[in-house]
Chain A
């Protein structure tokens, strides 16, 4: 029994794509768009890390201590105002290993690329959560960095624990 020539062609093409798919994801940490592996959500129950932002005023005294999420002071600031994806913000904060001048400037550009007319200062918090033994979720927020339209990006506005 012989296959339809188109079927033969399709089979060979599909096999070729599968080989390229496997090779590219194997040597690229599982990602070479549009080829991917899909382990998202597989690490169920693990602690997670995200980020939030609060507006701060120049006269505010800043604390760099971690605190429960519900106790974070200041007016919440939504990144949609500047057209930013909150997942970008969360990953930017959690995946940055070394906070140098360029990194602070890049965060400032991302958040303030379309600056409002009024001066604006933003405190970026990293939020971390874990499942407790009592089946509740403990969420704490750690202040990371202040950026602002009237504040040149600088590592001196970082949480002292993060300064290089």
Chain B
């Protein structure tokens, strides 16, 4: 038998760390899987309504994204379709979450149908030029559960796949963001003067939003000391570059908390809070299953 190469062992190890299909199931894992799914389902419904209600005020298209590049998305504007779409997404997500698949022709496609309608909702909402990424983690989370329903008959394996899928794309997304910065500017990206530009940019946004702005002490500190601004950016860049470490269970939680720190840093220095992403990072950033098993062990099973 030809021994598997070192590369293949690397990938075998990666799949094991991401999905852990071989691990015995436990009460903590069951609760955490449903808790994470409930978060993704709830956040998706929230986005459907938030985007749907906002779309009612849109009457012209500045920039087409996604589906809007292939179909005339203006059919979603100037009428109540975004609201009907939000109702449809809500219904489909409830069907998916409650596993009502035996009595309806949709079968296990409920989450995937919701995913496609939510993509349409996004395309109708974001035609004004803004290209936000604040909802991408939730979107990928929903896709993970949609694929789990379609690709895994065994729902324990499906749930594990969905969670590993989210970890994978969190690691990939942040690491690729670091790569973009290094390709564009090299290590000079972390020059503190760049943070000065962004602090002022977001201050102007705040004036546009509320009519006034007052810089906080962290922003003032960064504006007063170039080296502090540079340190902030360097921390962010290093954190993003090492975000792929969330793929491995040994480094996962340290890396997740570093990403959480990155978001807190972005919040205090640039006043940008990706709330849904932060909640998801908090949910995935602690070993909740092991904590539950420790606090509430199943009879006959030793706590992890």
**Contacts from A to B (Cβ < 8 Å):** 1, 3-4, 6-7, 9-11, 13-14, 17, 28, 31-34, 36-46, 48, 50-53, 69, 75-80, 83-92, 94-96, 102-103, 105-106, 109-110, 113, 127, 129, 131, 135, 137, 139
Contacts and interface: CB of A to CB of B under 8 A. Distances in A.
B197 A131 contact: yes
A82 to B, nearest CB: 8
Nearest to B200: A137
Given A33-B66, A45-B191, A139-B200, A79 B152 contact: no
User: A interface, by DSSP: helix, strand, loop or mixed?
Assistant: mixed
Contacts of B177: 38-42
Contacts of A85: 54, 130
B224 interface: no
Interface string B147-167: 100011010010011001100
Contact of A94 (B129, B132, B151, B193): B129
Contact of B197 (A33, A53, A129): A129
B19 A6 contact: yes
Given A37-B176, A91-B129, A103-B60, A52 B123 contact: no
B102 interface: no
Nearest to A48: B201
Q: What 3 A-B pairs are tightest by C-beta distance, nearest first?
A: A34-B139, A91-B129, A106-B60
Nearest to A4: B21
Contacts of B21: 4, 6-7, 10
A103 to B, nearest CB: 6
Contacts of A80: 209-210
A1 B151 CA distance: 23
B196 A44 contact: no
Given A41-B198, A90-B205, A36 B191 contact: no
B208 A50 contact: yes
Given A10-B161, A44-B185, A137-B196, A50 B204 contact: yes
B273 interface: no
Task: Output the residue of A28, A34, A42, A106 with the most chain B CB within 10 A.
Answer: A34
Contacts of B66: 28, 31-33
Contact of B22 (A4, A28, A32, A36): A4
A69 B59 contact: no
Contacts of A41: 177, 181, 198
A146 B241 CA distance: 45
A127 B204 contact: yes
Given A34-B136, A38-B176, A53-B208, A88 B129 contact: yes
B131 A43 contact: no
Interface in B170-211: 173-174, 176-177, 180-181, 183-185, 188-189, 191, 193-194, 196-198, 200-201, 204-211
A105 B54 CA distance: 17
B173 to A, nearest CB: 6
Contact of A11 (B15, B59, B208, B209): B15
Contact of A106 (B59, B174, B197): B59
